A and B are shown apart, each in its own frame.
Chain A
Amino acid sequence: MKPQSRAALLFLAPGMALITLFFILPVIAGFFLSLTDFDLYSIGDVRNTRVVGAKNYASLLDNPLFWRALTNTLYFSFVGGPLTIAVALAAALLLNAKLARFKALFRTIYFAPVVTTIVGVAIVWKYVYHPRVGLLNRMLDAIGIQGPDWLGDPQWAMPALILLAVWRGFGYATVIFLAGLQNVPEELYEAARIDGAGGWKQFWHVTVPQLGPTFVFVGIITAIGFLQVFAEPYVMTPDGGPLNSTLTIVMLMYREGFRWWNMGYAAAVAFILFAMVLLATLANTLIRRRRA
């Protein structure tokens, strides 16, 4: 081994050791756990554990609640994810506009929900969504629309959570987009203007391609965040909401793991989620490579 690589290895060792101990090993242990029926009886006596192979996965695919949770999660992700990106991009464009004033102030305002604790946010939003005295329904009342019971109605509970998640999450993406926008060379816009491109064409043919890598990064981060949604439904609609309409994959995992203590089963849920996140990430990168 060359001295340099030995030195590199030495410097990497502490980090590698930590990652192995606290990340890779638990993941492997979690995978093995998902092949067992580790549950309450196993906590009493470990010998009450059987290796059941893929049975957890099979019964999971057979469980209507799992499909419900999967549908809810995908609904949440496919509506909430793109919406977050769109709102974030719009906010970033506004902040980056030459006419904009008080940029730092607005940047802080947009970013504030990201760093606010979800429990505090949940209390405020529960008031906002209150069917009779809530801000939202009062506003709808004023224009003559009778608002639904946002969190109590199976149809509206998920949209209400999506709105909350978008509001809470777009600030983070905004900051990243803003950084991306500031890296777009001004000459490109100048050249485009000379070629006669209007505002929309400049955006579509200059800004968007230049933001490519930013889109991939934001896309992956948002997808992962949305697929792993837990805090919002957990605090706003505990127990999965009306008719399980806000039960997500992670909620199901939590319910199975910590409420019923079916750890093996919950680990299987975790691995399916892992596969989904992996797929989303791969898809994102592939799309990016194709374009490049």
Chain B
Amino acid sequence: MLLSFLSFLLPLSSFLSTSCARPQQSTTIEFWGLGREGEVVAELIPEFTKQTGIKVDVQQIPWTAAHEKILTAHVGGSLPDALQVGNSWMSELVTIDAIVPLEETLVDKSDYFAGIWDTNVIGGTLYGIPWYVDTRLLFYRTDLIPTPPRTWSEWNAVMAKLRRENPSRDFYPIVMPTNEWPQPVIFALQRGAVLVDESARARFDEPRFLEGFNFYVDMFRRGYAPAVSNTQVANIYQQFGEGQFAMWITGPWDVGNLRLRLSKEQQELWSTAPLPAPDGTPYPGVSLAGGSSLVVSKRSSKQAAAKQFIAFLSRPEIQSRFYEMTGDLPARKSAWRVLEGDRELAAFGRQLDRTVALPRLPEAENIVNAVAEHGQLTVRGQFTPQQAAQALDRKIDAMLEKRRWVLRKFIPRVDAGSLGAPAVQEADASRVHPRSRVYARDKLNEAAEAHR
């Protein structure tokens, strides 16, 4: 009874929103941009309208509220035609059936960073076009570290040396705020951790994860990093400028922040480098594939126009202009020409060739936050790394129970081993909800990959 009540509510909401859409003379599409990008994109629109006759109505959504707002808008049936989303939300939006697949021919795929492109592919289908990219790498003081480390053991050696030379508690070789998840997650990914496997089981209590996690925790234990959260660091730019710490792992946005805030003399004293790699693995070590993507919403009645707009924003010359306006790193490699000669940003170009995506699950953000939380507890000595990994396994497994149930429910055939019969799958799929086809395809691809 409850289910029928709920299922009654959902279509009702979409009915209400479509019934008031009126046919329009010239096409106008709605676009949601997040934060500063939403502000700046308006300047590019007159050119697009001139070329295509399509008008774009831009709404700016602040980043802090964006995720909630997009989900709520989907349920309320009020998503715009096209929108900008964080690429880590992609899987969530596919799961709730909010966005449509895009054709790979919309842009030149080979011009994009592979790791970033992959974050937009869910279950073998492309759902978003990368708009701008980011990743995290090493910011360091050139006066304290003449050559940046390339391996974990070099890294440890550098930090040990800095600690020896300056044992004062006013100085730390590195700062890693304990409430930020990227650092422990990156180290684990560098050791090849998967966090969650294909059958939606947590994979924390195993060497791949623990080696990275230990590396993280040891930096605090050996006194290389202070156990503080980012709210306790009063002004990280000033402290970095004054050399109160020598290294820092953060993203391209802080290049701009440092250039803005540090004095002229201090500008000479810092630089960036790709992340060191675990010993015996290729340099640079992998980092996170971050950034924003452009997607088209399912409820849009002007999907063709929305795709045209996305294709326009993805043109190399527009990407270059967008970089000049925002400082956001272009997703297209050919647009990187405008960045030539920029020493600090060049390192990002190298790092972007070595990125990996987080597990593409709707629960991903919740999972990585749990890693940070357990990292914090371990750093504070309430857990050993092993205990933290076991606790994470329990917590994440419980969190993913629903996903495993959904996977099992829709694809009993795949489990039975009928992998080589896509025709049967398709015929079958027509009887079930379109969403479950994605799960099936998702599962099929994963199984096929495992098979190889």
Q: Could you list which residues of chain A lie within 8 angstroms of chain B, going by C-beta atoms?
A: 29, 32-33, 35-51, 59, 131-132, 149, 151-153, 238, 241-243, 258-261
Contact = CB atoms under 8 A, between A and B. Distances in A.
Contacts of B234: 131-132, 149
B84 to A, nearest CB: 19
Contacts of A50: 405
B231 A242 contact: yes
Given A29-B5, A45-B433, A50-B405, A40 B95 contact: yes
A7 B5 CA distance: 34
Contacts of B95: 40-41, 43-44
Query: Which bucket holds chain B's interface residue count?
Result: 20 to 34
Interface stretch (B34-42, B63-71, B213-221, B276-284): B63-71
Nearest to B438: A44
B354 interface: no
Interface in B66-118: 67-68, 71-72, 74-75, 92, 95-97
Contacts of B71: 43, 258, 261
B97 A40 contact: no
A257 B218 CA distance: 36
Contacts of B436: 45
Nearest to B366: A260
Closest 8 A-B residue pairs measured CB to CB?
A: A152-B231, A46-B7, A43-B96, A44-B435, A258-B68, A45-B433, A44-B97, A32-B2
A153 B232 CA distance: 7
B402 A37 contact: yes
A47 B232 CA distance: 45
A45 B231 contact: no
Contact of A259 (B67, B75, B376, B402): B67
Given A33-B2, A47-B3, A47-B433, 4 more contacts: A46-B3, A48-B402, A132-B234, A151-B231
B406 interface: yes
Contacts of A38: 6
A41 B403 contact: yes
30 contacts: A29-B5, A33-B2, A38-B6, A39-B402, A41-B362, A41-B402, A42-B6, A43-B10, A43-B71, A43-B95, A44-B96, A45-B97, A45-B435, A46-B6, A47-B7, A47-B433, A48-B402, A48-B406, A50-B405, A59-B398, A131-B234, A149-B231, A149-B232, A152-B229, A152-B232, A153-B232, A243-B229, A258-B72, A260-B366, A261-B92
